[in-house]
Structure formats: C-alpha cells, structure tokens
Structure 1
Amino acid sequence: MQTLEDNMVFLGLVAMSDPPRQGVREAIEKCHRASIRIIMVTGDYGLTALSIAKKIGIVQGDDARVVSGLELADMDDNQLKEALKGEIVFARVAPEQKYRVVNALQELGEVVAVTGDGVNDAPALKKADIGVAMGVSGTDVAKESADMILTDDHFASIVHAVEEGRAVYRNIQKFLTYIFNSNTPEAVPSAFFLFSLGRIPLPLTVMQILAIDLGTDMVPALGLGVEPPEEGVMDKPPRRLSDRLLNRQLLLKAFVWYGLIEAALAMGAFFLNYWVNQGNLNHLASSGPLYREATTMTLGAIIFTQIGMAMNSRKGRGSIFQVKPFANRIISLGIVLEIVLFIILSYVPFFHTLFNTAPIGLDDWLYLLACPFVIMALEEIRYRLFDKK
C-alpha cells in the first residue's frame, strides 16, 4: 500500500476565528437593561455556540443549558417550555426545530422576534411576531418572509430600531396629550356662557378657537413628533400587549389635569381684565373695547399655557429640569410663531373685527408671560409628589 504522507515535519496549527462585530456586546447589554431576552438558535457545535454566547453577553450565568437538535427532538412541548424559562442555547438545530422554539415562546406569552438569512429560516421568520432578515447576506425567500430587513446585517441595528420604536410610541402620546389638553380651556368658556344664561359673555369666540387649533398649536405639536428618545428609554421593560396608545391615564392627564389648569388660567385672565378695568364683576360688558380686550386675554392665556404644555410634554415622565429648552428647533420655532401670531391678532387693526381682539397693556402681558411657568411649576410639583420614585 502506497503511503501518501511521508517524511512530514509538524510546523504548527492554523485556526480560523470569526469574532463578534464591534458594538454587538454593547447592544446586547442594552437589551438586557430593557428586559429583552436573547436566545441563540444556531447550527454550530454546542460548545462553540456557548462560548460565543458568553463572550458577547447573551449568556451571563454559569448554569446555562446547551440543547442540541437531537435532545430537542426528544423533548415534548412541556419540557421545551420549561427549558425556555432559564438560560438556554440551541445548537445543531434543524429548520423545523427553530420554528418549534418560536411557537413555544409564543405559547408562553412572549412577543418573539427572529433573525435569519437562509431559505430554511423562512418558516420561523413567518411564524415570529417580527421576522428580521439579513439584507446583505439574506436570501430572497428570507426577505420575502420577514417583516423587517437589515441593510447592514448588524444586530445593533435591531436594538436601535427597538429604541426608535419606543421613542415613536412615546412621541405619539406626547403629541396626543398636547393636542387634547387645549380642548378643555376651549370648552370651559362656552360652558360659563351657557350655564350663566348669557350673564357671562362668551369669553372665547369661534374664530379664536380656530386660531388656536389651526394656527398656534400646529407647529409645536409637529415638533413633539420628532423628539429624540428620552434618557433611559431602554432601561425599562417592554409595555404590555394590552396597553393602549390612547389610555385612561393619558386622557385624564390631558383633559382633567392640564385642561383644568389651562381653563382656570384662561378664565382668570378673562375675569381679571374686567376687575382691573371696571373694579367689579357685577355687570360684564358683552361688546365694545373692554369685552374684546377680555376675550383677547382669554385667547392669550390659552396660547401661553400651551407654551408651558409644550415643554411639559417634552419631558415625558421625568422632571422639567431634564429638558434642554432649545434642543428641539421645531418646538422653539413653534413657540416663536405662537407669540408672533398672538401679537398680530392683538395689535393689527385688520384682525380686530374678525377675531374680536383688542390691544392689551403691559400688566396684561405680565400675566400672560407668567402662565407657562405656572403650568410647568404645577406639573413639576405633581411629578415630585406622585411620579418620582
């Protein structure tokens, strides 16, 4: 028999290493802080998979279990679900087994995202709540089966997407709070007029309400939609599936808490104008310069409290002192436009008849300028008494 290898000299070994991408470990740490669990399901050898999982932080304890495809095939569904409750790494698994793991997690009540790039990953990608395919190395079948495609094939991009998604959700709630709260101070003046049977003249006209809804509120509301993620947004667990975007807490905060404060300041401005100019509230003029000045003050109080509301909405669940006042340029522009529009409506004679407005004095301006700080101060007090942990 001929010897193929003869007189050979051992010089050494050559090994190949495929190190984790830069930033993956940091992204996984962020997931853990956000209570997002990561499970490795791979076709690699078990010890290799466990070593990588420990290196990048997927596995943190020393008692993590490595389950091979052969072991998984011998497990029934209850055993699999029990195994999934602890730290676990799946190795040497078949495509249908990946699908089975996804199904078991969903039956445990988990929201499951799955990453994959091959044709055999398509069933699991389709079954998952969010299928994530690789855009560079992924097959067309995987991309068609997925809900999201990564253009850079980087795990950190998924984490950035989660952070951005949480920010978008919070920004929509901020937008809704800001938009809804002005409805109360717009409705309360009409209620005063109706329940007093006209003895209290209408403090806010229809055209003034339109000026608020279609004029002063628009730009700050749009600015709230592009607020950057709040600090610590990834340090909180995911919201429950049953949580609603438009929930009772948001509605109470907008219509009752903020709304009643704004309504009180607006009606205070209306009555204060009569008190200062005529010394009593026995007979409130329903027309003429004094009445127009009073309605102008009501309009101005709502506009300036909305400025305070824009800042309160930006802070989210934290303190007002955490907000950088001029960081959001759209909101800053919106505040300037609000003030400019109010000045135009108050001092340009052309608009006086149309919007039932009139010029106001320096004392009136002091009241209006105090309104944003009053609403911000009251919200800060509420936060420190009830929300701060």
Structure 2
Amino acid sequence: LTIDTAETNLTFVGLAIMSDPPRPEIYEAIKKCHRASIKIIMVTGDSSLTAKSVAVKIGLTSDKARVVTGGELDSMSKEDLKKALAGEIIFARVAPEQKYKIVSTLQEMGEIVASTGDGVNDAPALKKADIGVAMGVTGTDVAKDAADMILTDDNFASIVAAIEEGRTVYSNIQKFLIYILNSNLPEAVPSALFLFSRGAIPLPLTVMQILTVDLGTDMMPALGLGSEKAEPSIMDKPPRARDAHLMSKTVLWKAFAWYGLIASIISSGAYFFVNHLNGWPLKGLATSGNTYVMATTMTLAAIIFCQIAAAMNCRTENASVFKAGLFANKLVWFGIVFEIFLLALLSYTPFLQELFHTGPLAPTDWIFLAIIPIPLFLIEEGRKWLNRRRLAAKKVDVVD
C-alpha cells in the first residue's frame, strides 16, 4: 500500500469518540462559588471551542463569555487585559508565562488569587498566586513544590469545601470572642459603681466571683461555640476584605453594647433587688452579713444566666437557632449544664461559700434566674429575623 491507495475502497463501520465529562459535584461547587461572589476563570491549554463548551456546560460562564487565546493575550495591553478580566472571560491555548501574567494582573487589580494546576508549566502561576493549589494525584513534583496546598483527590469541589470550612472556622472564632468578651462588661460595672460612688455602693461582685466567671463558667460554652456547624448562609456572603480583622466593629458592638450591656443591667438590677427586699432604699445598702452575701450571689448568678442566653444567641449570626437545631450543639448544652452545676456547687457547699462569699439560693431565686435567658433569647431571635428580612429585601433590590 502507498499513501495514495491506503484509504480507498473502505466501508464505514462506525465512529469512535472520547469523552471526558465533568465530575457530577462540579455543578453544585460552581453554584456555591457564584453565590459566594467568588469569580472562577478558566485558563487552559485546550482549544477555545472545547474550553467554552465545558465552561457553559458546568455553569461557569454564560454563552456570552469572551474567549481569549494565547495569541490574542500577547497583543493585549495591560489596561485591555484588566477590562477583559472584569467581565466574563475564558483563556484558551495559553502558555506558562501567560498564566503568570493573568495571575499578576488580577493581583494588581486588588484581587486575592488562588491558582490551580498539575503540570510543570503551571508552577510559575502557582508560585505567584496568593494561594497555589496543586493536584496531589496527577500533579508533578514541580507543581507540588511550587504550591501552598496539595489536593489529595484532585477535585475542584474539595477547594470549595475548604473555603466553606475556612469561613465556618473564622465565623466560629468570632462567636467565641463575642461570648468571651460580653461577660467583661457586667464584671466591670460593679467595680465602676463602687468607684464612682466612692464606696457608697459596696462591691456587688467580689474578686473570687469575677474569677468564677472568667475561669469557670465562660470556658465550656465558649469551646462549644468553636465547634458550631456552618450556617446555611455561610456561602451567600462575599469574601472578606483583605484588611478585615477578627476583632471587628460588629464583634465589639455585639459583645459590649448589646449582650454585655443587657447583662450588666440585669446583674446590677439583681444586686439592688435583693437589697430592696431587705429594706433599701429606706436603709443603706448592706456592706456585710447575709444580705450582702445573697446580693453578691444573685449578681453572680444573674451574670451566669445571662451567659446562658448569650451562648445560645452566639450560635448563629443571622439564622434562627431553631432552624440550626435548638439542641444540635451538644457541647454548648454541656457547657450550660456545667455553668448551672458550678453555681449550685458554689452556693450550697459550705467551704466554697466561705471562699467565694456566696450563699444558698432559694427555690424562688432559681425561678427568677431561669426566667432571665428566655426574653434575652427571644429578643435576639427577633433581631435576627429583622436582619434576615432586611438582607432579603436588599438582595431583591440588587436583582431588580
């Protein structure tokens, strides 16, 4: 056979094709990224036709997305590239140095860039990106060495799951901080009352009782908050700003001006109420004796029961705790039970009474204390409901 005669007198039997379909989980992962305002840009060595076909199929871009090839990219100015990157865009038939150029341009635009890849030609972009993610199964050693993270399953959905987990951890740390900080104000107010009254108001809270809150009742529920599951809306928020802080204004406002202020009013009110039952203001505030001991014990107890409400309220930022599952976080409930048990221990154990200056709580005292968390919890649920409505209305306005 010669080249001229090899393909003559043939009979068509069939056509063999190869298909490399997208993984089933990629569709939901892409949707999550879009909801979270995370922009995904396909940069591939494949043809422009293949790249756009896959991008449209998985929902990465619309059919109107612009496809830029490596040859076009070379002729584009930096400003033109920035304009193109601001819209829907796909890069096809690109060289290693062009991947590096795309990453560096995005960084110049103020974006935080994560780059994925598996080959030697991906190494420059992986190294330049803020977060380089190499494939652990098919990736080359060069790509793995250049990357910051290595995927053990080579699955894009794992990257999205890591983003969701990272947001959850960040959110839980802030919940932990709000809970830990909010008790500082009701602890400080008694000392402030004593100082500003120049001793006319005896210390409503002793030093040992303050340590009880800081080292005893605070810690267990706070640890439970650190294990809280992700809120349903965790991937509906845009990425945090590069200069965002854990100790944000929102965290401080909630801790001190909301939870802390309410707890301060209630705990200080408990102190004066006990004195009122014993003749105040017709006679002076008790400075010693059983009345003083019971007043300080009720102040401590009121702070603890305010903390119970705070622990439940801190479990979610905007979602209803009922929707998250009232009893879903067993560690938080364990912490709440521990708080109540510790208070009872300090109240009824004789040698601890002397050490912590506490007295035995009567059944009516426990009823009063048990009521405290209920309105605090319901008020916060109402605030979250209003906030959800406001965010939903704002989202509709943006869509319209």
Amino acid at match of 1:29: K
User: Which secondary structure does the structure 2 equivalent of 1:89 belong to?
Assistant: strand
Moved more, 322-331 or 261-270: 322-331
Q: Provide the residue aligned with 1:135 in structure 2.
A: 136
The offset of 1:245, in angstroms, is: 1.5
In the alignment, the residues of structure 2 paired with residue 254 and residue 281 of structure 1 have an alpha-carbon distance, to the nearest angstrom, of 36
CA 1:282–1:221 in 2, change beyond 3 Å: closer, same or farther?
A: same
DSSP 3-state at the match of 2:54: helix
**SS of structure 1 residue aligned to 2:134:** strand
2:239 matches 1:238: yes
SS at match of 1:131: strand
The aligned runs of 1:90-109 (5 Å cut-off) are 90-109=91-110
SS at match of 2:278: helix
Contact 1:320 1:376 in 2 (8 A): no
What residue in structure 2 maps to residue 191 of structure 1? 192
Query: 1:216 aligns to what?
Result: 217
- SS state of the match for residue 234, structure 1? coil
Please state how far the C-alpha of 1:378 moved relative to its aligned partner. 3.2
- Which of the residues 19, 23, 26 maps onto 2:25? 23
Deviations, residues 291-317 of structure 1 (Å, cap 9, x unaligned): 111111011000010000001101212
Question: 1:47-84 deviations in whole A, cap 9, x for unaligned?
Answer: 01111111111112x32111111111111211111111
- 2:346 corresponding residue in structure 1: 345
SS at match of 1:235: coil
Partner of 1:303: 304
Q: In the superposition, relative to structure 1, how do residues 115 and 296 fare at CA in structure 2: closer, same or farther (>3 Å)?
A: same
2: distance between equivalents of 1:361 and 1:153? 62
- Are the equivalent residues in 2 in contact too, given 1:308–1:375 (CA < 8 A)? yes
Per-residue displacement from partner, 1:116-151 (whole Å, max 9, x unpaired)?
011111110111111111111111211121121111
SS of the aligned residue for 2:372 comes to helix
Secondary structure of the residue that 1:114 maps to in structure 2? strand
Q: Which moved more, 1:192-201 or 1:340-349?
A: 192-201
Q: How far is 1:242 from its partner?
A: 2.9
Please give the residue correspondences for 1:60-99 in structure 2 after superposition, counting only pairs within 5 Å. Answer: 60=62, 62-99=63-100
Matched, 1:373 2:374: yes
TM-aligned CA deviation for residue 283 of structure 1? 1.4
**For the residues of structure 1 that align with 2:175 and 2:9, how far apart are their CA atoms?**
78
Give the unaligned 5+ runs of structure 1.
none
Q: Aligned pair count?
A: 388
Structure 2 CA distance, aligned partners of 1:25 and 1:379? 36
Partner amino acid, structure 1, of 2:70: G
Q: Who is 2:250 aligned against?
A: 249
Equivalent residue number for residue 331 of structure 1: 332
Q: Secondary structure at the match of 1:149?
A: strand
Compared with structure 1, are the counterparts of its residues 279 and 85 closer, same or farther at alpha carbon in structure 2 (3 Å cutoff)? closer
The runs of 5 or more residues in structure 2 that have no matched partner are 391-400
Q: In the alignment, residue 233 of structure 1 is paired with which amino acid? A: I
1:388, CA displacement in angstroms? 4.0
Q: Secondary structure at the match of 1:278?
A: coil
In the TM superposition, what whole-angstrom CA distance separates every residue of 1:68-113 from its partner, at most 9, and x where no partner exists? 1111111121111111122111111000000111111111221111
Q: Which residue of 2 aligns with 1:166?
A: 167
Moved more, 296-305 or 134-143: 134-143
Secondary structure of the residue aligned to 1:115 is strand
| Identical-residue share of aligned pairs (%) | 61
Distance 1:6-1:210 versus aligned 2 partners, 3 A rule: same
CA distance in 2, matches of 1:355, 1:127: 58
3-state SS, counterpart of residue 261 of structure 2: helix
Q: What is the TM-score when the length of structure 1 is the normalising length?
A: 0.96
Q: Name the structure 2 match of 1:47.
A: 49
CA distance in 2, matches of 1:270, 1:323: 35
